[in-house]
Structure 1
């Protein structure tokens, strides 16, 4: 049985900076049956983009069109593609060599060849060339990463990590060309809703971060983003909200927090109004008790104190969440000595050496985007009760705030 053809689509506008790296990464795929389609969206760089594309000869299929935006270039490629599967590659990003092969293997393993596949990815800082690993599985449970629209609503889908069977375009259509910066998430929502999705918890893509990206340079992006997400909220059923966060009440609360972090003020206010109008879950007290038991069980009931390690954004966010759930935080701690005198919310921040003296009766929660190094540090100091904010978040996901209940 031959391997299905996969079409790797590269839309490009003035791609002299990164296009060659993108094409080379597509050609380096270990999956044997691919075609590469490059669509030049009316570049105005004195032919530099075209020269790069033409240098690959018959290794790629190359098309030129008048400038109309990335959605128009993608749609041209969709019409031209011969493959059974669509895989988008921005001209400033790169695939790891196993991207397509790993995703096709996942489809075969799960027995659903039309499931939509997405994965983790790495971020490459164009200024200093530093790579940051983005492992969404450390932030969200697997059932949420494979919930049809949860990854879209929480902004964890990178469009270039997707592998999409062509039947989904036949079912819901193509990219909305009137949207200049949110055409991707608009389509992912329409396409992934009610569909089987597969999530691969390993990075298959290198996404470059730089200052010329459309989401940073197009003035209308924030307005367009808010309007799109408000439309998402209006279209969801209560069952869908419950599948993501246990209740509509908690769903609107969690979405308002997400919008607030993204500085999407209009969407934030809209979600907060929805939250204020929503019904409190009838089993809220049972959920609170279960969460407190979950915290206690981490130390098998032996820890009598709780410390949040790191007084940064993550630590403060966790403190606020736990305080709302009536969980007592006794200390903060931090490797940064400048924070020892600060603390937060009246809770002192103590040096790790002082915390060491309390280790046998203290649960330490490491609140850091990449907690592994700190966890290893504390393990070497024989701290017996360690966890991370990411793990605690799993218990918090389905528990709404208590402020509406206990005034």
Structure 2
């Protein structure tokens, strides 16, 4: 059986696609398949995918544009490997031994559900590579249950909530129907919350073999608009309600609230940067979740919490929005 299925969703990335695909095909570990999902690209990305269709371990899928989540879900349904790995088509691996490394973790931790790994961020404007500064304490992950691993990851700033930072057992995804929510941004947070709730065993490596491009001008994550705020609020609302009505281990619940509090801080900066008309559409529901700020797990959250207590939510939103603009 094939060990890894590498799913690459593709949309208008002709500048970066070859580097991404070749970084996977050049792996020294050979038990893998590559699933190229062309999500209705209007540039030459689709033609570039077809150049690989005769490779024995490459599957090429052309579909109408449905967004990143839909493309990933399509890849999941096509995959046959024991483990699924996602890589965005504008990113790439900087090592030919990435799969070797992941397979070693699987061999050491038989039947593990989730294997985590690190990345190096490439800031395109400055042309600068910055490695992820945090390291996993492997002793806090290996052979530990979710109610220990999840709080550790969130408290140590090692919970990345990104699909491209994990290798996941395919049967876990299929059994629990852990698909990506269609039509929203920040979908990786929602997906990761589901994934870690169902996972029973974990492993990790501190190897940073993924190069993650940031500040790409044409990227869908490089715009601040009403939908960004609406979708993040949707995720916060969804998971606060889930944690309220479902039986979840208390330590996991507390950790998830802490993570949602940080996302609420990000949401506050987004709302603060909106026009008055856009802000009006979202503000009432947004303000209803200001109680999340009481879950302050770091100094910044603690400061924002007290600003909100003293000056109110409107001023806090304004202040955080101005700070976010100044940081750009």
Q: Give the TM-score taking structure 1 as reference length.
A: 0.58
Q: Does 1:223 align with 2:230?
A: yes
List aligned pairs for 1:36-115, cutoff 5 A: 36-45=34-43, 48-59=44-55, 60-95=58-93, 96-111=95-110, 113-115=111-113
Pairs aligned (count): 276
Alignment of 1:186 with 2:190, yes or no, is yes
Shift of 1:271: 5.2
User: What is the alpha-carbon distance in structure 2 between the residues aligned to residue 21 and residue 146 of structure 1?
Assistant: 38
Deviation at 1:150, TM superposition (A): 7.0
Structure-1 separation of matches of 2:60 and 2:87: 14
With over 3 angstroms needed to count, the CA separation of the structure-2 counterparts of 1:14 and 1:85, relative to structure 1, is: same
Q: Quote how far apart the aligned CAs of 1:260 are.
A: 1.6
Change (3 A) 1:27 1:232: same
Q: State whether residues 181 and 218 of structure 1, in contact with CA within 8 Å, keep that contact through their aligned partners in structure 2.
A: no
| Cα distance change of structure 1 residues 39 and 150 upon mapping to structure 2, 3 Å threshold | farther
Using the TM superposition, give the Cα deviation of residue 22 of structure 1 relative to its aligned residue in structure 2, in angstroms.
0.5
What displacement does 1:243 show? Answer: 4.9
More helix by share: 2
Gaps in structure 2 of 5+ consecutive residues: 272-282, 305-328
Asked if the contact 2:2/2:33 (under 8 Å) is kept, the reply is: no
3-state SS of paired residue (2:15)? coil
Using the alignment, how far apart are the partners of 2:69 and 2:151 within structure 1? 21
1:199 is the counterpart of 2:204: yes
Alignment partner, residue 251 of structure 2: 242
Let me know the Cα RMSD of the aligned residues: 3.7
**Which residues in structure 2 correspond to 1:329-348 (within 5 Å)?**
none
Partners of 2:181 and 2:190 within 8 A in 1 = no
Contact 1:43 1:49 (C-alpha < 8 Å) held by counterparts: yes
Query: Higher relative contact order at CA 8 Å, sep ≥6: structure 1 or structure 2?
Result: 2
Please identify the structure whose Cα radius of gyration is greater: 1
TM-score normalised per structure 2? 0.71
Distance 1:146 1:110, change over 3 A: farther
Distance 1:50 1:147, change over 3 A: same
Q: Which moved more, 1:55-64 or 1:123-132?
A: 55-64
Contact 2:10 2:36 in 1 (8 A): yes
- Identify the residue that residue 149 of structure 2 maps to in structure 1: 147
Aligned counterpart, 2:30:
32
3-state SS in 2 of match to 1:137: coil
